Structure 1
Amino acid sequence: MSTTSLPSKPHYPILDGLRGVAALTVVAFHLFEAHATSHLDQFINHGYLAVDFFFLLSGFVVGYAYDDRWGKMSAGGFFKRRLVRLQPMVVMGMIIGALCFYFQDSVLWPTIHEVPVWKLLVVMLVGFTLIPVPVSMDIRGWQEMHPLDGPGWSLFFEYIANILYGLFVRRFSKMLLAVLVFLSACALIHLAVTSPGGDVIGGWSVTPEQLHVGFARVMYPFFAGLLLFRLGKLTHIKNAFLLCSLLVFASLAMPRIGGSEHLWMNGLYDSLTIILIFPLIVFLAASGEIKGRFSSRLCKFFGDISYPIYITHYPFIYIYTAWVANHKMPFREAWPVALLVFIICIILAYACLKLYDEPIRAWLKRVVLDKNKKQAAPPANVSL
């Protein structure tokens, strides 16, 4: 079966907008994280759950975009489409991460004077592929599988989920998919309530424990999103974007539950939010409509920058965190700089989208996808 050009489908604009709301909340979460002494006093305390929300959105959207196309598309064609969609910004995120690492200076990790440039370049090139780097190449010392751009870990697991879908899960019946989702939910609850921190935080290191966290975090939400799409019984919801945006932010901004004495309580909140609240939000959002021009433009803008800002913001978080640590700066004094970093991340994301990501994806579509369509086309004198 060949890779053919498939007609595009209309987006769910509210889902696009919610992806942007969650991505912007992640940036704020990471800025506040530089001032926290632990996860117990972290402001926007559950911002890390945005990753699980992204996984659920991805499963829903992948089902919507591809479930009815397998008669005209091979697994290879599916993988090529996902690479064209995701990989260009992965490369840009690693380039920005390498540039920031080269020029930054911090008491928190080695500087460029201690890390050979060749090693930095090798880590960047490996990062282009999203293959986790070994411990010997961890130039930052935070045990990240992608030390130049930490959020790359979630893209690594997103690719794994896409591979599982493209090779196997796309063939699952609703019942078999529901069994997979149920078992994944059980694994997620077990992880959350028994974890040493009382949460689902983790997944960014190449260790057995962290890989367990990463797989537990991606398996339920991604395939629950796919199941949610296949159930397909939507309703009509008024003011869905506003309602769902408030629900997303409230879920992520919820203060820590249970304190240091009852860690399992926060783990229970994490798992139930992922298992129940996030699917409800996606259901409501997919059921809503955007009518006003302002809301439509806002959802489009949020959706456009959501992926670019997620994959490019963290190198600037490294710099901000280093600045806070070097100067021992409390947030009440550092907030103007934090606001500036927040704005820079938005501007950079939009610039990367318009000047790099969209042109590169358009070129790759012509070269990789449309080229295969032309090669697969029969000669003009052959009847069909």
Structure 2
Amino acid sequence: MQTTVQADERFYMLDLLRGFAAIAVVLYHGDRLVPAGYFAVDLFFILSGFVLAHAYRGRLRSREEIVSFLVKRAIRLYPVMFLGALVGLAINGGSLKTLLLIPETNGILYPANLPLWSLLFEAIASVAFGLFHLFGKPMLAAFFLVGLAIFAFGVLKAGTADLGFFSGAFGAGLGRTAFGFSAGIVIYYLCRGRHPISPYLAVWCCLTIVAVTLLQPGSPLVELLVVTVVLPLAIFVLAHLQPASNGLAVWLGNLSYPLYAIHHPIIKLAEDSAVAVVATCIALVLVSAAIYRWYDVPVRQWLEKRWAETA
């Protein structure tokens, strides 16, 4: 591994982490083969804040630039979200308003495809990201602290950090998202110094993340500690490093979003058998790679071209 990264480079270790986190979620939903795989969602929120801070640092100085950013975020998120909603509706049925990411107001937010809840919160976080640039650091600090407080209260009340997918925990889900997303932004700016970090420390971080996902849920204080301390520290360390070969990291990072968006309705069909779950997970990984290459990228390129023509 390399222990320094240039500011304009891609964070390949975080791509690798995103890919493995998506697989962990699939195995979690597939008969709980990864018992605490829902922590991967917190990784996604932190990584989103980190990556957006890296991609848009110094670029959102006006309302017009913020509007353009929000349109580009919609283009980034919606095509795959739409496909995930279609898959869910085809298998489980449900309301067509799911195609517009409109949640149910009673019970599970998206019965057709449960993980869509986090995409709703991701969209809300994108709007908040624009506000950070309008109002500056006090807004970021408010999101971080208020989000942490709301999330901590929700975890201690519910006894779990797996919150946000049903209407009764909507507020806790917002807190979970606000904390993770703003923590990712903070971590990015803390990483700007690029102080060398031992690869051995990165290995321990990877092992810690694996151990965390294999924990048997049960202690709200431990879960809160994992989300608010362990995962942010691990991302901080891994962001300083690059793998010697980045091909696998790019491949896994690219397919992670399609995999997350489509997997739940499909993996639930196989959840009574561990062998079937693993086989289905492998198939979903391959299908998601194809979706990224032949659906996600072309559709986004077409939409971005149309937006550029009308802007």
TM-score, normalized by length of structure 1?
0.73
Query: What per-residue deviation string (whole Å, max 9, x for no partner) do you get for residues 32-87 of structure 1?
Result: 23xxxxxxxxx533211111111111111111111310137522101111011111
Q: Could you tell me how far 1:241 is from its partner in structure 2?
A: 6.2
SS of residue matched to 1:57: helix
Task: Find the aligned partners of 1:299 and 1:177 in 2 and give their Cα distance.
Answer: 30
Q: Could you tell me how far 1:100 is from its partner in structure 2?
A: 2.2
Pairing 1:22–2:13 present:
no
Q: Could you tell me how far 1:146 is from its partner in structure 2?
A: 1.5
1:92-103 alignment, distance < 5 Å: 92-101=83-92
CA 244–367 in structure 1, closer or farther in 2 if over 3 Å, else same: farther
Residue 12 of structure 2 aligns with which residue?
Answer: 13
Question: Contact 2:160/2:217 (CA < 8 Å) preserved in 1?
Answer: no
Residue 50 of structure 1 aligns with which residue?
Answer: 40
1:244-323 alignment, distance < 5 Å: 244-257=205-218, 266-291=219-244, 293=245, 296-321=246-271
SS of residue matched to 1:348: helix
SS of residue matched to 1:287: coil
Residue 140 of structure 1 aligns with which residue?
Answer: none
Task: Find the aligned partners of 1:304 and 1:316 in 2 and give their Cα distance.
Answer: 20
Task: Find the aligned partners of 1:14 and 1:65 in 2 and give their Cα distance.
Answer: 16
Pairing 1:225–2:163 present:
no
CA 133–255 in structure 1, closer or farther in 2 if over 3 Å, else same: closer
Query: What per-residue deviation string (whole Å, max 9, x for no partner) do you get for residues 97-155 of structure 1?
Result: 222236xxxxxxxxxxxxxxxxx4xx2x42222111355xxxxxxx3222221100000
Task: Find the aligned partners of 2:258 and 2:204 in 1 and give their Cα distance.
Answer: 25
Residue 382 of structure 1 aligns with which residue?
Answer: none
Q: CA RMSD in A?
A: 2.1
Q: Could you tell me how far 1:238 is from its partner in structure 2?
A: 4.2
Q: What is the letter of the counterpart of residue 38 of structure 2?
A: Y
Task: Find the aligned partners of 1:230 and 1:175 in 2 and give their Cα distance.
Answer: 15
CA 194–133 in structure 1, closer or farther in 2 if over 3 Å, else same: closer
Task: Find the aligned partners of 1:352 and 1:179 in 2 and give their Cα distance.
Answer: 38
SS of residue matched to 1:47: coil
Q: Could you tell me how far 1:194 is from its partner in structure 2?
A: 2.4
Q: Among residues 119, 133, 142, which one is paired with 2:104 in the alignment? A: 133
Q: What is the letter of the counterpart of residue 154 of structure 2?
A: L
Q: What is the letter of the counterpart of residue 28 of structure 1?
A: L
Residue 89 of structure 1 aligns with which residue?
Answer: 80
Q: Could you tell me how far 1:205 is from its partner in structure 2?
A: 2.2
Task: Find the aligned partners of 2:207 and 2:147 in 1 and give their Cα distance.
Answer: 27
More helix by share: 2
Q: Could you tell me how far 1:335 is from its partner in structure 2?
A: 2.4
SS of residue matched to 1:313: helix
Q: What is the letter of the counterpart of residue 233 of structure 2?
A: L
Question: Contact 2:30/2:270 (CA < 8 Å) preserved in 1?
Answer: yes
Q: Among residues 112, 115, 123, which one is paired with 1:159 in the alignment? A: 123
Q: Could you tell me how far 1:176 is from its partner in structure 2?
A: 5.4
SS of residue matched to 2:30: helix
Pairing 1:362–2:301 present:
yes
Q: Could you tell me how far 1:228 is from its partner in structure 2?
A: 1.8
Task: Find the aligned partners of 2:202 and 2:88 in 1 and give their Cα distance.
Answer: 33
Query: What per-residue deviation string (whole Å, max 9, x for no partner) do you get for residues 203-258 of structure 1?
Result: 1223xx3212211211111111112223333322343765443232222212335x
The structure having more radius of gyration, on CA atoms, is: 1
TM-score, normalized by length of structure 2?
0.89
Pairing 1:200–2:161 present:
yes
Task: Find the aligned partners of 1:202 and 1:175 in 2 and give their Cα distance.
Answer: 26
Q: What is the letter of the counterpart of residue 159 of structure 1?
A: A
Query: Structure 1 regions of 5+ residues with no counterpart?
Result: 1-8, 34-42, 103-119, 136-142, 258-265, 325-333, 376-384
CA 367–345 in structure 1, closer or farther in 2 if over 3 Å, else same: same
Question: Contact 1:18/1:241 (CA < 8 Å) preserved in 2?
Answer: no
Aligned-residue identity in percent: 28
Task: Count residues with an aligned counterpart.
Answer: 301
Q: What is the letter of the counterpart of residue 309 of structure 2?
A: K
Task: Find the aligned partners of 2:205 and 2:247 in 1 and give their Cα distance.
Answer: 17
1:26-37 alignment, distance < 5 Å: 26-33=25-32
Pairing 1:146–2:110 present:
yes
Query: What per-residue deviation string (whole Å, max 9, x for no partner) do you get for residues 235-294 of structure 1?
Result: 22343765443232222212335xxxxxxxx11111111111111111111111222x3x
